[in-house]
Amino acid sequence: MTTLTMAGAINAGLRAAMERDDKVTLMGEDIGKLGGVFRVTDGLHADFGDDRVMDSPLAESGIVGTAIGMAMAGFRPVIEIQFDGFIFPAYNQITTQLAKMHYRSRGDIQLPVVIRVPYAGGIGAIEHHSESPEALFAHTPGLRIVSPANPQDAFDLMQQSIACPDPVMFFEPKARYWDKGEVDTARVAAQLDGATGPANATAEMGKARVARQGSDVTLVAYGPTVRLALQAAEVAAEDGTNVEVIDLRSISPMDSDAVVKSAKRTGRVVITHEASTAFGVGAELSARVTEQAFFHLHAPVLRVGGFSTPYPGATFEHEFLPNIDRVLDAVDRVMKH
């Protein structure tokens, strides 16, 4: 076990994957000698060289298109979109090429591309630097969407994503880059080096995690809001409400079975994420819970998220983001039924 920040855990996960497979390459804006805006790739260029850690032009569509070609040639590219709001120039490449090539070729072509996306708010950034676009990509079949909430998951999910034969969008909650935690650096290696190898690792990366056990309310979160959910659960416990917190980890495919199982036991569900609630991940999960656990619910499924406005400037971002008060208000509302 070693203590790492989330940024350090992602770095360690990238390093382990590159040491395991010389076909793993990194590409993105300023990721080489600089180590990236958030220094997530710090030191990798010095150790692996220009051929495997490549600075790219400021052209997101070109970065993704190049990665698609590299994957078709047998490489396993990991590319960085420097900030969440910069991904939209590459939207066409991701949704019409990367997501569909395997299906279009009847399985003959695999594109094991990982797209790293620092996303969400909480760092006081300027416009286009605090978006949460995960639902836009989760709506597209053919893409896996994951988001870690702690250093251990960041370390594990990064290596599992690189080993996965499918394209993976790896959404990194940038406000959590400096959160520290204990990381078992041997756990995922046992999966990847075992008899089933990448198949076992791919199965694991799609599973949700019970972050806190409870009996009264199921509180679901992922990425940046998992810590918020755990904090809200602790406050609720002071008033006698036992909240179970589920970390989705994978947005697509979504482990709704784990949430439904919890919902049938607690009878109450609250979902929180930073993205706007309208047409979001929470809406999809709410529909699944309602369809599969309707007769077990004591109250409607509630969602707590961002408002239906463009992400505001730094001065007002904390008015936009879900907070403990808003989450606890939703918990109180479902507990009244």
The residues that are catalytic are 129
The CA–CA distances, whole Å, from 60 to 56, 78, 120 equal 9, 13, 19
The CA–CA distances, whole Å, from 17 to 164, 184, 331 equal 12, 15, 41
| Residues 31 and 52: beta-carbon distance below 8 Å | no
How many helices (DSSP H) and strands (DSSP E) are in the chain? 14, 14
Locate 250 and state its tokens.
């994978």
What gap in Å lies between CA 64 and CA 42, rounded to an integer? 22
Is residue 243 left, alpha or beta, with left meaning phi > 0 and alpha meaning psi from -120 to 50?
Answer: beta
DSSP structure string for 149-199:
SSHHHHHHHHHHHHH-SS-EEEEEEGGGTT-EEEE-TTHHHHHHTSSSTHH
What is the DSSP code (8-state) at residue 77? E
Going by C-alpha positions, the residue among 68, 149, 80 that lies closest to residue 112 is 68
Coil, helix or strand at residue 75: coil
What gap in Å lies between CA 243 and CA 334, rounded to an integer? 12
What gap in Å lies between CA 19 and CA 28, rounded to an integer? 19
